[in-house]
Structure 1
Amino acid sequence: MRAAVLREHGEPLSIEDAPEPTADPEGVVVEVEACGICRSDWHAWMGHGEWADDAVDPGQILGHEPAGRIVEAGDRVRTVAEGDRVALPFNLACGSCGYCRTGHGNVCTGDHPHALGFERSAQGAFAERVHLPSADYNALHLPDSVDSRDVAALGCRFMTAYNALNARAGLGAGEWVAVHGCGGVGLSAVQVARVLGARVVAVDVRESALDAAADLGAEVLVDASEADAVEEVRAVTDGGAHVSLDALGVAETCRNSVRCVRPRGAHVQVGLTTDEEKGEVSLPTDWMTRHEVSFLGARGMPPTSADDLLSLLASDAVDPGALVTREVSLDEIPDRLAAMSDYDTVGVEVMTF
């Protein structure tokens, strides 16, 4: 099969023939119909993450936001079958450890690859076919009415945004949320926040990103290249956001997000750091303590919670397809990853077959 393979960090992915995946007894092989192109793929391509023992090795097929149809199922698989349409979570889970059994499979600690497209034993979906282990736990059934392209846009970004705002921060109707960085996950957060009934302040330095946020329901736009983001957010929210989310992962946006929060509010970290921060950002901890500000992390979404989000998708309450700005072929993926180096992408780009 054809696939986009990482051969050298920072160099264009190699489009080449790769070994066909085969289903293990508890897994399935999925023929990929669509796969989102995410900034996490860019981090992997650049070789980031070694400071957390999380750098992706050469030889890896990237791609972690796929949807498609099962073409082979292992003999122990019971809940899905050949021909079923499914989405694959990037945070693969074993289904049997303590975290999985209590509904937190996104932080699974079982003896099992945890990140689709980021580990040699969990080759990704920038390919014609991909293997999904522990399919009875991980496979996400797709409603017939849902397009695979839209599910690929849902991907880790929408799932992460939903988990971050709904489950981790408990964002409520009428509350203010500040979204720092309006790329794929940031724009997903804007849409999720509006579905939850919240009011959104979108913060970015790009006019095109802010325009996209406005189209998705952001009530206030802050151009951080022209104004102090913290002062602006605190002013328009009458003392600070109830929840603030850093969707970019650089030190400045992380600290700004924390400082935007009102007393007893919550900051949620979604964006991963670059090789400049190397996983470490200094924070105003005394100020956070004084005002009882919570610092939360959010990684993907438990597979057991996906039905809630897929139901919203099927009912048109959320529209990840609205985030899609470009459909590309497998051959175009190397160039589209490179475009992320200069933030030369808007919204979500999706590979389709």
Structure 2
Amino acid sequence: MRAVVYHGPKDVQIDDDRPKPRIEHSEDIILKITKTAICGSDLHLYHGNIKGMEPGQVLGHEFAGIVEQVGDRVEEVKQGDRVVVPFNINCGRCWYCRHGLWSQCDRSNPQGELGAVFGYGQNMGGYDGGQAEYVRVPYANTVPLKIPENLSEEQALFLSDVFCTGYFGADMANVQPGDDVAVFGAGPVGYFAVVSAFLRGAARVFAIDHWPARLDKAKKAGAEPINFDQEDPISKIKQETKCRGAICIDAVGYEAVGHHLHDNSANPAYIPQDSLQVINWIVQAAKKFTTVGIPGVYLTEYADFPLGQFFQRELQIKMGQCPVKKYNEQLLHLIEVGRVDPTQLISHRMKLDEAPKAYDMFDKKEDVTKVVMTP
């Protein structure tokens, strides 16, 4: 079969003769992929920043398709069902799964104590991903979500990750009716954090980024865009909220860029990458006594983390990997009844064979907001 395979930093290739996956355990299914997407967190792999990522790994953790084969003990789905699959893998039986903490399943990752993820290297379980013609899905009585007849796979696709992760950010930040919300990052997760903040009743949502195409998508979703190349986001948020600040969501993570004041400079200097840029903005822009939601990925230790400022402003932090199954059914129903159209985020539809080009385009961002591929 054809699959998108990691060969090294900024080197993904199409493997035309990858062995088709087979049933290995009685609760496995084999899924024929009909839609798959490139996620922003795939770019961390693409840049070579993820430990345990080895050449030969099939990429992709956002995918949907048709069940082609089922194991002997699979009861919840059958051959021919259309399903979307969460990016994190859950056994459904361990303590974490039984308490709805799906992203930290204790049984799905044979390589360590962290929960497992499709297509994300050995440290996250070593499972092949769904940027391929077929994928093996374990624990199929727990993991897949059936797609209703009135929805396409493309409409349900982002329930694999980014829609749920954006909602997770708004949920962690405890967005309430009437709140002013600031979403840092207008990429796919930021876009759905904007959508989710409004679903939860936000009065206003500010979207902070510097890519015009992404800010335009956020604006169409109802956000007020702030381009940090053109104005200081802290001053703008304080001005618009009468100095109270906003409920803040970090939808960027450690591969952030931005403007950063140096002690020896009177003017902001452009830093190509500043891992704490968004954190340093948030600690100034956040409304006191609120909770900051961080669905953006952070992977290492930070000596200069502004813990003292968080303490002084009495800010709480909630962060981590989204437990997709906590949210995907309720968000599916919002799509089903027409409250949300996730396909509005898509900027490019491409063939799986074009994956190397798609990764390069998505990495450069420019006019690319989301790439969906068809095998």
TM-score, normalised relative to structure 1: 0.92
What are the Cα deviations for residues 46-91 of structure 1, in whole angstroms up to 9, with x where unaligned? 21123xxxx4211100011001110011111111111111111111
Alignment of 1:263-274 (within 5 A): 263-273=288-298
Name the structure 1 match of 2:81: 84
Amino acid at match of 2:98: R
Compute the displacement of 1:176 (Å): 1.3
What are the Cα deviations for residues 214-269 of structure 1, in whole angstroms up to 9, with x where unaligned? 11111x22111121111211221233444211111222123212321111112122
Q: 2:159·2:328 contact (CA, 8 Å) conserved in 1?
A: no
Matched, 1:3 2:28: no
Name the structure 2 match of 1:280: 302
Q: 2:211·2:366 contact (CA, 8 Å) conserved in 1?
A: no
Name the structure 2 match of 1:21: 21
Cα 1:328–1:46, aligned 2, differ >3 Å: closer, same or farther?
Answer: same
Question: Which fold has the larger relative contact order, with Cα–Cα distance below 8 Å and residues 6 or more apart in sequence?
Answer: 1
Compute the displacement of 1:295 (Å): 1.2
Cα 1:300–1:281, aligned 2, differ >3 Å: closer, same or farther?
Answer: farther
Name the structure 2 match of 1:116: 118
Alignment of 1:256-267 (within 5 A): 256-267=281-292
What are the Cα deviations for residues 18-41 of structure 1, in whole angstroms up to 9, with x where unaligned? 111112211111111101111111
Q: 2:88·2:118 contact (CA, 8 Å) conserved in 1?
A: yes
Q: 2:35·2:374 contact (CA, 8 Å) conserved in 1?
A: yes
Name the structure 2 match of 1:131: 136
Amino acid at match of 2:120: F
Determine which structure has the larger helix proportion and give its number.
1
Q: 2:160·2:324 contact (CA, 8 Å) conserved in 1?
A: no
Distance 1:133 1:122 in 2: 9
Structure 2, unaligned stretches of length 5 or more?
Answer: 111-115, 257-275
Matched residue SS, 2:55? coil
Distance 1:99 1:182 in 2: 31
Q: 1:180·1:247 contact (CA, 8 Å) conserved in 2?
A: yes
Name the structure 2 match of 1:349: 371
Distance 2:367 2:44 in 1: 15
Compute the displacement of 1:207 (Å): 2.1
Alignment of 1:151-230 (within 5 A): 151-166=156-171, 168-198=172-202, 199-218=204-223, 220-230=224-234
Structure 1, unaligned stretches of length 5 or more?
Answer: none
Matched residue SS, 2:155? helix
CA RMSD of aligned residues (A): 1.8
Larger mean Cα displacement after TM superposition, 199-208 or 340-349: 340-349
What are the Cα deviations for residues 164-196 of structure 1, in whole angstroms up to 9, with x where unaligned? 212x22211111111111111111111111222
Compute the displacement of 1:280 (Å): 3.0
TM-score, normalised relative to structure 2: 0.87
How many corresponding residue pairs? 344
Distance 1:281 1:179 in 2: 25
Distance 2:120 2:12 in 1: 17
Distance 1:281 1:30 in 2: 44
What are the Cα deviations for residues 271-310 of structure 1, in whole angstroms up to 9, with x where unaligned? 2258xxx553733222211221011113123424321111
Name the structure 1 match of 2:280: 255
Matched residue SS, 1:5? strand
Distance 2:127 2:118 in 1: 5
What are the Cα deviations for residues 303-349 of structure 1, in whole angstroms up to 9, with x where unaligned? 24321111111111111111111111111111111223332353211
Distance 1:308 1:241 in 2: 30
Matched residue SS, 1:67? strand
Distance 2:146 2:303 in 1: 38
Larger mean Cα displacement after TM superposition, 253-262 or 62-71: 253-262
Q: 1:164·1:298 contact (CA, 8 Å) conserved in 2?
A: no
Matched residue SS, 2:216? helix
Distance 1:288 1:160 in 2: 24
Name the structure 2 match of 1:47: 48
Q: 1:7·1:14 contact (CA, 8 Å) conserved in 2?
A: no
Larger mean Cα displacement after TM superposition, 315-324 or 252-261: 252-261
The counterpart of 2:321, out of the listed 294, 299, 307, is 299
Distance 1:86 1:12 in 2: 26
Larger mean Cα displacement after TM superposition, 244-253 or 73-82: 244-253
